[in-house]
């Protein structure tokens, strides 16, 4: 009888494998590479249509549309309101963290370059690795792996080494990007430390998108940014990409991987995202590219090998 109840429980696979996380393998590495490729394009997609729709409104609208998609998928997979209520505490925390991350990105992109935002946003793996090391059993890194984390971050800094003095606007935007990275790291630690660690990816993402939409929508409306939005064909295409590919598919992939693999190792792959951000920014926004990109990319790859070898 108990076996039958376990078999019918949508969380049975979580119960059986509670707190067990695998070391990153070739499958996870390939999926994280795809994830970073998509995220590398995120800042470019936002910045490219910022004159038509402000970054804040873009974050708001994509969250609203994506939560409808995730909610439909969650219902189809058998997740009900009782399941939502079971995790409401940590769900609210990760939702607040996610909303803060989005708000800092949207605000920061009005001051700094998309490539700079990529760099400071993806300091998140360092903060997350430290938090996971201190508070989550099984996520501790060895000395060699910490060297890998440090090398990966160093490579990212080399890839984005400044070619001139920063203006005050750039410094403000970069600081907001750093705060976005801290917010992302905090949500990763909360997910792994609480009951959300074993919850379906759809449920975790629903919390994040719902809280983000509820918090950002009034801000976008009161500030007048929502009413001034111009839905040009390019802006609609960008919103479609952000909704379907980033807020729906990519984030579902991320949370699915978090349930199966060690978050401290997965996070290091995120250092690749700024490289893709630089590449896309160069190709599509005519942002500058230097030899530092090649050198920094090589250092990042060495760091990733040290962490996942």
Within 8 A by CB and 6+ apart from 98, the residues are: 183, 187, 208, 209, 211, 212
Question: Which pLDDT does position 300 carry in this prediction?
Answer: 84
Profile the chain (309 residues) by mean pLDDT over runs of 10 residues: 40 44 88 90 84 92 95 91 86 93 85 76 83 86 87 81 69 88 93 91 93 92 93 95 95 92 86 78 70 79 79
Spatial separation of the C-alpha atoms in residues 178 and 124, rounded to whole Å: 8
* Pair of tokens at residue 157: 């800094």
Considering the entire predicted model, what is its pTM? 0.78
Question: Which pLDDT does position 235 carry in this prediction?
Answer: 95
Question: Which pLDDT does position 2 carry in this prediction?
Answer: 38
Question: Which pLDDT does position 129 carry in this prediction?
Answer: 86
Q: What is the CA 25 to chain-centroid distance, rounded?
A: 20
């Amino acid at each position: 009888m108990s076996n039958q109840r376990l078999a019918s429980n949508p969380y049975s696979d979580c119960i059986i494998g509670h707190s067990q996380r695998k070391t990153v393998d070739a499958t996870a590495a390939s999926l994280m590479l795809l994830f970073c490729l998509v995220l590398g394009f995120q800042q470019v997609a936002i910045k490219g249509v910022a004159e038509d729709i402000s970054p804040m409104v873009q974050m708001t609208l994509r969250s609203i549309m994506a939560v409808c998609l995730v909610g439909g998928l969650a219902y189809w997979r058998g997740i009900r309101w009782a399941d939502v209520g079971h995790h409401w505490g940590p769900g609210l925390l990760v939702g607040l963290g996610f909303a803060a991350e989005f708000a800092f990105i949207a605000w920061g992109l009005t001051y700094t370059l998309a490539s700079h935002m990529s760099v400071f946003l993806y300091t998140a793996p360092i903060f997350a690795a430290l938090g996971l090391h201190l508070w989550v059993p099984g996520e501790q890194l060895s000395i060699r792996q910490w060297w890998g984390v440090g090398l990966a971050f160093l490579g990212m800094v080399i890839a984005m080494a400044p070619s001139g003095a920063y203006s005050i606007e750039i410094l403000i935007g970069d600081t907001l990007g750093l705060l976005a990275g801290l917010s992302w790291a905090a949500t990763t630690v909360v997910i792994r430390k609480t009951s959300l660690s074993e919850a379906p990816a759809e449920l975790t993402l629903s919390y994040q998108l719902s809280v983000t939409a509820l918090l950002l929508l009034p801000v976008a409306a009161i500030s007048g940014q929502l009413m001034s939005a111009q839905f040009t064909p390019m802006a609609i295409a960008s919103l479609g990409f952000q909704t379907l590919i980033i807020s729906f598919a990519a984030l579902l992939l991320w949370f699915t991987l978090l349930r199966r693999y060690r978050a401290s190792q997965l996070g290091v792959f995120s250092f690749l995202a700024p490289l893709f951000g630089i590449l896309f920014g160069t190709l599509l926004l005519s942002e500058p590219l230097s030899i530092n990109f090649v050198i920094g990319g090589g250092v990042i790859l060495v760091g990733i090998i040290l962490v996942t070898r």
